[in-house]
Amino acid sequence: MNNDNIALNFDKAEYYSLEEASEYLNRKYKTDNINAHKLLKKVVQYEIPLFIYGKNFQLTGDYVMKSFRSVEPINDDMELYRNNLKEVSKLNRAAYSKIDSMLSAVMENTGGFLELSVETIRAFLFDSKITTDNIDETSLFGGFLPIAIPNSNASSLDYLDDYLLSYFEDSVAFTLALYPSIDIFLDDEEDITSAIDRTIKSCTPKVVDYYLYDKENEKTYITPYFEISRNDLVVLSSGVTKLEELISNNEETSIEIKSLDTDFLKQKGVSPQKLLAKHMAKHIANKEWQTDVQNKIKITEMSEIIYSKLYSLGFNNELPDQARNIKSWIKEVAPDYASEGGRPPSL
């Protein structure tokens, strides 16, 4: 084996920083034309997944299980179809909780790779460093890989299949979104600010801001906002290989939206954008009500808030004609105080 091949073997890895991937490709193709920023442009162009390493915080997720996908309409009865989906969703809740616990345990132990959304990756074309407080939670992380098995599927979490099939007779079809949080525990005579500062020091990536949830008789936790730089971005070996194939063949790759199975949705007559709009409506409403400490926001007012936010995010074509029709999208996450009484009986 000649010296170039030996050096190339040293450059090979299961995952790379963009700088390392550039060095590997330059050595492989005997050029010096590839750099991290050029590589990033191609990654964005061809929709190659990028990740960051994270550790010492918890994850909760929105998942679509394979049992949910398998529900079929019967005789075009959409009411029955919706009811069947609701029943399957109820059965899935125990699995959701277990998935959250397992992913969080990995994050607390060895840490893992969090897949970034395409929207987040694009931000690095223009900024070398970003903070996640400017990114909607539903558009931040879309998958997770333990560092020990980086060649699995980050969206379907296929490394959990054996366990989930054994205990729940089900598995994940794809992940809509993953949400970071950090539980806060106070030591003796420690105030909340000191406890938060102590806890976030151990987190990766760096926590630069947070939102505190501290309600009486409930656990205290924060939503962290991270600082992420281009140097934090990780591309898997499989991603580099795919990029080489696409560039060498000069083929246009179709965009695979991991949070939505468009073929499945078309079969059911549901727009993938509308499903995403409804998903975001519930998540935004849930967050708004969590911060409504005075318990004042009724479901009609929340519908107006959600309608406005979704419109500003570009979902105008998916929204109903009137804001009040958003109620049906968010009623399952509405707290009891948000309900509104009907018309009083006539005397």
pLDDT tens-place string over residues 227-282: 999 999 999 999 999 999 888 775 443 434 344 444 444 444 445 567 778 888 88
Q: Would you tell me the crossing angle of helices 18-28 and 237-249 to the nearest 10 degrees?
A: 50
Residues near 45 by beta carbon (within 8 Å), at least 6 away in sequence: none
Which amino acid makes up residue 115?
A: E
Q: What is the structure's pLDDT at 190?
A: 86
Return the percentage of the chain with pLDDT > 70, whole number: 82
Tokens representing 236 are 């898997």
Q: Give the closest residue to 64 by CA, choosing from 257, 347, 223, 201.
A: 257
Alpha-carbon gap, residue 187 to 35, rounded angstroms: 47
In 3D space, the residue among 148, 149, 208, 220 whose CA is nearest the CA of residue 181 turns out to be 220
Is a pLDDT exceeding 70 seen at residue 204?
yes
**pLDDT in the model for residue 261:** 44
The predicted-structure confidence for 178-187, as pLDDT tens digits, reads as follows: 999 999 998 8
Give the H/E segment covering residue 208.
strand 207-213
Do 157 and 64 touch, CB atoms closer than 8 A?
Answer: no
Whether the model pTM is above 0.85: no
208 vs 189, higher pLDDT: 208
pLDDT at residue number 199: 95
Q: What is the pLDDT of residue 251?
A: 46
- pLDDT score for 264: 42
Looking at the predicted structure, is the pLDDT value of residue 96 above 50?
yes
The values of phi and psi at residue 346, to 5°, are -75, 145
Confidence (pLDDT) at 259: 40
Domain boundaries, the chain: 51-238, 271-338
pLDDT at residue 76 in the model? 64
What is the C-alpha separation between 62 and 176, in angstroms, rounded? 5
Higher local confidence (pLDDT), 134 or 209: 209
Predicted confidence (pLDDT) at residue 342 exceeds the cutoff of 50: no
**Residue 121, pLDDT above cutoff 70:** yes
H or E segment and range at residue 172: strand 172-183
- pLDDT tens for each residue of 136-154: 777 799 999 999 898 899 9
Instruction: Say whether pLDDT at 157 is over 80.
Output: yes
Q: How far is CA 278 from CA 2, 64, 156, 190, 340, in A?
A: 58, 14, 21, 41, 21
Q: What is the pLDDT of residue 331?
A: 86
Q: Which of 82-96, 119-133, 161-175, 222-236 has the highest mean pLDDT?
A: 222-236
Q: Are 85 and 68 in contact (CB under 8 A)?
A: yes
Indicate the average pLDDT of the chain: 83
Residue 21 confidence (pLDDT): 94
> In angstroms, rounded to a whole number, what is the distance separating the alpha carbons of residues 65 and 61?
12
Give the whole-angstrom CA distance, residue 52 versus residue 310: 28
Question: What's residue 194's pLDDT?
Answer: 93
State yes or no: pLDDT of 110 exceeds 70: yes
pLDDT digits (tens, 9 = 90+) for 36-86: 999 999 999 988 999 999 999 999 998 888 887 676 666 666 666 666 666
Token pair of 334, please?
Answer: 């509405």
Q: Which residue has the higher pLDDT, 59 or 337?
A: 59
Q: Which of 36-40, 119-123, 250-254, 288-292 has the lowest mean pLDDT?
A: 250-254
Task: Name the nearest CA neighbour of 55 among 199, 236, 229, 209.
Answer: 199
Look at 137 and 301; give whichever has higher pLDDT. Answer: 301
- pLDDT value, residue 81: 63
CB 281 within 8 A of CB 306: yes
Q: CA separation (Å) from 323 to 21, 66, 256, 275, 311?
A: 48, 32, 31, 17, 11
DSSP state of 295: -
For residue 341, what pLDDT is reported? 52
pLDDT at 19: 95
